[in-house]
Amino acid sequence: MAVRTIKDIDPEGKRVLVRVDFNVPLREGIITDDTRMQRALPTLKNLLERGASLIVMSHLGRPGGEKKPEFSLSQLKDHLAKITGVKVIMAPDVIGAEVEALANNLKAGEILLLENTRYYGEETKNDPDFSAKLAKLGDLYVNDAFGAAHRAHASTEGITKYLPSYAGLLMEKECAFFDKVLENPEKPFIAIIGGAKVSSKIAVLESLLEKADAFVIGGGMAYTFMKEQGKTIGNSLVEEEFAVTARSFLTKAESAGVKVLLPLDHIVADTFSEDATPEAVDNVNVPDGKLAMDVGPKTVAAVGELLSNAKTVVWNGPMGVFEFDSFAKGTLDVANMVADCAGTTVVGGGDSVAAVNKFNLADKIDHVSTGGGASLEYLEGKALPGVVALKE
Ligand code: AMP
Same domain, 218 and 332: yes
Residues 6+ apart with CB under 8 A from 51: 11, 12, 13, 108, 109
Q: Which of 14, 15, 19, 36 is catalytic?
A: 36
CA of 37 to the centre of ligand 1 (A): 27
With respect to residue 154, please indicate whether it lies within any of the assigned structural domains.
yes
Count the neighbouring beta carbons within 10 Å of the beta carbon of residue 127: 16
Distance from the CA of 43 to the center of ligand 1, in angstroms?
34
Assess contact for 306 and 332: CB atoms under 8 A: no
Please give the tally of structural domains in the chain: 2
For residues 219 and 259, membership in a common domain is answered with yes
Q: Determine, yes or no, domain membership for 392.
A: no
Q: Which candidate in 350, 358, 364, 381 is catalytic? A: 350
Based on the residue annotation, tell me whether 36 is a catalytic residue of this protein: yes
Active site residue 197: yes
What span, in angstroms and rounded, lies between the C-alpha atoms of 332 and 309? 20
Choosing from 147, 169, 191, the residue where a domain stops is 169
> Of 146, 169, 192, which marks where a domain is finished?
169
Q: Which domain holds residue 180?
A: 176-379
259 and 112 co-located in one domain:
no
Same domain, 164 and 207: no
Residues 155 and 234 in one domain: no
163 and 201 within one domain: no
Q: Report how far residue 207's alpha carbon sits from residue 184's, in angstroms, rounded to the nearest whole number.
A: 14
110 C-alpha to ligand 1 centroid (Å):
43
Q: Residue 26: which H helix or E strand, with range?
A: strand 26-27
Residue 181 lies in a domain: yes
Q: Which atom of ligand 1 is nearest to the CA of 223?
A: 19
Best mutation site among 193, 265, 273, 321 for ligand 1 pocket (most ligand atoms within 8 Å of CB): 321
Number of H-type helices and E-type strands within the chain: 14, 17
Look at residue 282 and tell me if it is in a domain.
yes
Ligand 1 centroid to Cα of residue 337, in Å, is 20
Whether residue 247 lies inside any domain: the answer is yes
CB 243 within 8 A of CB 263: no
Query: Taking the CA of residue 339 as centre, how many other CA atoms within 13 Å lie in the half-sphere pointing to its CB?
Result: 17
> Are residues 76 and 149 located together in one domain of the fold?
yes
Among 122, 148, 169, residue at a domain's last position: 169
Q: What backbone phi and psi angles, to 5 degrees, belong to 303? A: -65, -45
Is position 389 within any domain?
no
Residue 70 Cα to chain centre, angstroms = 24
Contact 364, 347 (CB under 8 A): no
Residue 308: its pLDDT value, please? 97
DSSP class of residue 268 equals E
Active site residue 39: no
Is residue 388 situated within a structural domain?
Answer: no
pTM for this one? Answer: 0.93
Residues contacting ligand 1 via CB (< 6 Å): 195-197, 200, 219-220, 237, 292-293, 317-318, 320-321, 323, 349-351
Task: For residues 310 and 332, state if they share a domain.
Answer: yes
142 and 206 together in one domain = no
Task: Give the pLDDT of residue 349.
Answer: 78
Is residue 387 situated within a structural domain? no
Q: For position 316, what pLDDT does the model report?
A: 95
User: Based on the domain organization, do 109 and 48 belong to the same domain?
Assistant: yes
One domain for residues 96 and 111? yes
pLDDT along the chain (392 residues), means of 10: 92 98 94 93 98 98 97 98 98 98 98 98 98 98 97 97 98 95 95 95 95 97 97 98 97 97 98 98 98 98 98 97 97 97 91 90 95 93 95 80
Residue 373 known to be catalytic: yes
Q: How many residues does the chain have?
A: 392
Cα gap 388→391, rounded to integer Å: 5
Are residues 188 and 210 located together in one domain of the fold? Answer: yes
